[in-house]
C-alpha cells in the first residue's frame, strides 16, 4: 500500500503543490484548467474564488483524483500523488461538499466513521472518534449519533459533512462550496466553527467558494481565478483588498472593498475599553459606589468563571440588593476572533454602543469593543486609501 502521504505524524497540515496542472475534458477546445501552478503552505487555508465555470471544482477534484489531470504534477509533502492508488489516496484527504453529501442510508455515526472504517480502525477507536467529532462540530452525540441524514436540518447535515471530512485526521482537506446550501446565519456560525477548529488543527485546507466575503473571512490566502483556472491573483486577503492586481480582480472583490476590510479585521485587533465590572452576588450598594466613583453609568456583570452575564445601567441594577444571576442568552457578546462586521451586528442590539468581548475556549471576559472605536477605525481606513495592512491579528494569521 502506498500511503506515504497519509498522515503527518503530528496530525497537522501538509504542503500542497500543483505544478502546471492541465485538465482537458474530451471534446473541449480549451482546457478547463490550463496549466495551474500553485503552492499552498502547510497548515494554511486557501480559498478558490472565481466566476462560474472557471475551473474551481475541476482543480479541486484533481487533488483527490476524482478527476484525473491530463498532465502536470500534484505534490503533497513533496510527493507526487498522480501515480498513487487513487482509492488509498482519497482516504488520506478530507473531502467536504455542498450540502454534506451524506450517504442517506447510513446513520450519522456510520457516515462519520466511514473513512476510519475503510482504514481498518477497530470499532472502539472509531466510536470514540465519532463522539469526539460530533462534540467538535457542536452536535450532541447522544441525540444525533443514530439519526439518519434526512432527520437532520441542512446546517446539521453540513456539520456532519465537516466532521466526516475530519474523521481520519487527514493533513489536507478539500471543500467544495461547503456552506453554499445553508442560510446566512447558519453559514456564519459554521464559518466561525470551522475557524476555531482550524485554529486548533492547522490543516491544509483548499476551499472553493462563490462568496468573496467568505473567502476574505476564512482564507489565509485567496486564489482568484478566471476562465481556464488562470490565476488572476494569489495572495493574502489584505493584499488583495489593498491592491487588486487588475480590473478583473477589483470587479470581483466589488466596490465595497473598504468595508470588506471589516471582515478582515478581528475584534481582538482593536483596542478594547475596560468599563467597571462586578461579580454576581456582590452587594449592589458597593458596586454602585465604585462605579459612580469612576464616573460611569453602567457595569459589566461577570459570573464566578469570569464570563460576561450582562451589561447593565446602574439604575436597573439598583432594583436589586445583591447582583443577581442572569441566565438569558446574550446577543451582545462576541468572540475576539469574530470579524468587525460580526461585532457591528452585535453592537446594533446593544444599548451601550458596545459589545462584550470574550476569548479562549471557555469564553473569558476580555473587555468591551465600542462603536466609537470601530467607526474611528473605519475613518482611518478611508483616509489612508490603498495603504492598508492588517493589524497583526490574534491567532488567526497562520503560523
Ligand X SMILES: Nc1ncnc2c1ncn2[C@@H]1O[C@H](COP(=O)(O)OP(=O)(O)OP(=O)(O)O)[C@@H](O)[C@H]1O
Q: Give the residue with the Cβ less far from another protein, 92 or 338.
A: 92
Least distance from another protein to the Cβ atom of residue 149, Å? 7
Q: Which stretch binds another protein (CB under 8 A): 95-103, 123-131, 212-220, 280-288?
A: 95-103
- Judged by phi (left if over 0) then psi (alpha if -120 to 50, else beta), residue 222 lies in beta
Least distance from another protein to the Cβ atom of residue 174, Å? 8
Task: Tell me the number of residues near another protein by CB under 8 A.
Answer: 25
Q: Give the residue with the Cβ less far from ligand X, 231 or 378.
A: 231
114 makes contact, choosing from ligand X, another protein, Mg ion, none, with CB < 5 to 8 Å by partner type, with another protein
Cell of 188: 456564519
52 makes contact, choosing from another protein, ligand X, Mg ion, none, with CB < 5 to 8 Å by partner type, with ligand X
Measured distance CA(198)–CA(44) in Å, rounded = 9
Q: Give the residue with the Cβ less far from ligand X, 14 or 207.
A: 207
Q: In what order do the strands lie in the sheet with 354-359?
A: 333-335, 354-359, 364-370
Task: Tell me the number of residues near ligand X by CB under 6 A.
Answer: 10
Q: Give the residue with the Cβ less far from another protein, 63 or 323.
A: 63
- Name the residues that contact Mg ion, by CB under 5 A: 57
Least distance from ligand X to the Cβ atom of residue 155, Å? 21
Dihedral angle computed from the Cα positions of residues 22, 218, 166 and 32, in that order, rounded to the nearest 10 degrees: -20
Q: Give the residue with the Cβ less far from another protein, 91 or 377.
A: 91
Residue 223 main-chain phi, psi, to 5 deg: -110, 115
Q: What is the DSSP string of 180-234?
A: TTS-HHHHHHHHHHHHHHHHHH--EEEEE-S-HHHHHHH-SEEEEEEGGGEEEEE
For cell 462586521, name the residue: 341
For residue 203, how many C-alpha atoms fall within 13 Å in the half-sphere facing its CB? 28
- Smallest Cα–Cα separation from 312: which of 269, 274, 278? 278
53 makes contact, choosing from another protein, Mg ion, ligand X, none, with CB < 5 to 8 Å by partner type, with ligand X
Q: Does 96 bind ligand X (CB under 6 A)?
A: no
Cell of 355: 459589545
Least distance from ligand X to the Cβ atom of residue 206, Å? 13
32 makes contact, choosing from Mg ion, another protein, ligand X, none, with CB < 5 to 8 Å by partner type, with ligand X
89 makes contact, choosing from Mg ion, another protein, ligand X, none, with CB < 5 to 8 Å by partner type, with another protein
Q: Does 218 bind ligand X (CB under 6 A)?
A: no
Binders in 46-75 for ligand X, by CB under 6 A: 52-58
Least distance from ligand X to the Cβ atom of residue 38, Å? 15
- Smallest Cα–Cα separation from 299: which of 323, 319, 331, 321? 323
Q: Does 25 bind ligand X (CB under 6 A)?
A: yes
Measured distance CA(98)–CA(230) in Å, rounded = 24
Dihedral angle computed from the Cα positions of residues 128, 129, 133 and 139, in that order, rounded to the nearest 10 degrees: -30
Q: Give the residue with the Cβ less far from Mg ion, 97 or 130.
A: 97
107 makes contact, choosing from ligand X, another protein, Mg ion, none, with CB < 5 to 8 Å by partner type, with another protein
Measured distance CA(10)–CA(269) in Å, rounded = 30
At 17 the three-state DSSP class reads strand
- Smallest Cα–Cα separation from 356: which of 308, 324, 316, 313? 308
Which one among 26, 104, 120, 295 touches another protein, defined by CB under 8 A? 104
Q: Give the residue with the Cβ less far from another protein, 105 or 389.
A: 105
Residue 110 main-chain phi, psi, to 5 deg: -65, -40
Instruction: Spell out, one character per residue from 118 to 137, where the chain touches another protein: x when CB under 8 A holds, - when not.
Output: x-------------------
Q: Give the residue with the Cβ less far from Mg ion, 125 or 210.
A: 210
Q: Give the residue with the Cβ less far from ligand X, 56 or 90.
A: 56
- Smallest Cα–Cα separation from 361: which of 339, 337, 385, 327? 337
CB 62 within 8 A of CB 35: no
List residues near another protein by CB under 8 A: 64, 66, 87-92, 95, 97, 99, 101-107, 114-115, 118, 148-150, 164
* Residue ranges that bind ligand X, judged by CB under 6 A: 25, 28, 32, 52-58
Amino acid at each position: 500500500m502506498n500511503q506515504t502521504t497519509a498522515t503527518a505524524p503530528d496530525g497537522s497540515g501538509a504542503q500542497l503543490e500543483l505544478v502546471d496542472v492541465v485538465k482537458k475534458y474530451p471534446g473541449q477546445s480549451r482546457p478547463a484548467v490550463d496549466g495551474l501552478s500553485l503552492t499552498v503552505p502547510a497548515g494554511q487555508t486557501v480559498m478558490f474564488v472565481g466566476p462560474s465555470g472557471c475551473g474551481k471544482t475541476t482543480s479541486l477534484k484533481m487533488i483527490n483524483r476524482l478527476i484525473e489531470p491530463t498532465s502536470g504534477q500534484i505534490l503533497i509533502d513533496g510527493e507526487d500523488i498522480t501515480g498513487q492508488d487513487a482509492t488509498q489516496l482519497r482516504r488520506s484527504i478530507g473531502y467536504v461538499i455542498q450540502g454534506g453529501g451524506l450517504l442517506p442510508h447510513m446513520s450519522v455515526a456510520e457516515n462519520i466513521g466511514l473513512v476510519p472504517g475503510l482504514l481498518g480502525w477497530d470499532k472502539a477507536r472509531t466510536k470514540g472518534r465519532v463522539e469526539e467529532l460530533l462534540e467538535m462540530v457542536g452536535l450532541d452525540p447522544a441525540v444525533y449519533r443514530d439519526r439518519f441524514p434526512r432527520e437532520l436540518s441542512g446546517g446539521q447535515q453540513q456539520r456532519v459533512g465537516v466532521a466526516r471530512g475530519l474523521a481520519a485526521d487527514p493533513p489536507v482537506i478539500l471543500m467544495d462550496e461547503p456552506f453554499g446550501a445553508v442560510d446566512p446565519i447558519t453559514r456564519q456560525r459554521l464559518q466561525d466553527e470551522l475557524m476555531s477548529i482550524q485554529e486548533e488543527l492547522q490543516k491544509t485546507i483548499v476551499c472553493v467558494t462563490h462568496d468573496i466575503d467568505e473567502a476574505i473571512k476564512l482564507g489565509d490566502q485567496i486564489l482568484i481565478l478566471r476562465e481556464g483556472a488562470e490565476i488572476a491573483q494569489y495572495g493574502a486577503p489584505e493584499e488583495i483588498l489593498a491592491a487588486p492586481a487588475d480590473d478583473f480582480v477589483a470587479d470581483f472583490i466589488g466596490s465595497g472593498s473598504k468595508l470588506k476590510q471589516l471582515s478582515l479585521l478581528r475584534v481582538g485587533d482593536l483596542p478594547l475599553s475596560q468599563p467597571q465590572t462586578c461579580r454576581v452576588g456582590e452587594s449592589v450598594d458597593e458596586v454602585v459606589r465604585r462605579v459612580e466613583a469612576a464616573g460611569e453609568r453602567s457595569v459589566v456583570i461577570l459570573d464566578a468563571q469570569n464570563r460576561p452575564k450582562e451589561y447593565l445601567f446602574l439604575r436597573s441594577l439598583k432594583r436589586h440588593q445583591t447582583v443577581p444571576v442572569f441566565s438569558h442568552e446574550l446577543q451582545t457578546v462576541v468572540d475576539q476572533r469574530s470579524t468587525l462586521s460580526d461585532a457591528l451586528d452585535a453592537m446594533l442590539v446593544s444599548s451601550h454602543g458596545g459589545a462584550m468581548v470574550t476569548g479562549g475556549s471557555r469564553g473569558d471576559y476580555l473587555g468591551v469593543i465600542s462603536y466609537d472605536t470601530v467607526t474611528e477605525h473605519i475613518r482611518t481606513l478611508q483616509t489612508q486609501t490603498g495603504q492598508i495592512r492588517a493589524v497583526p491579528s490574534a491567532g488567526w494569521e497562520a503560523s
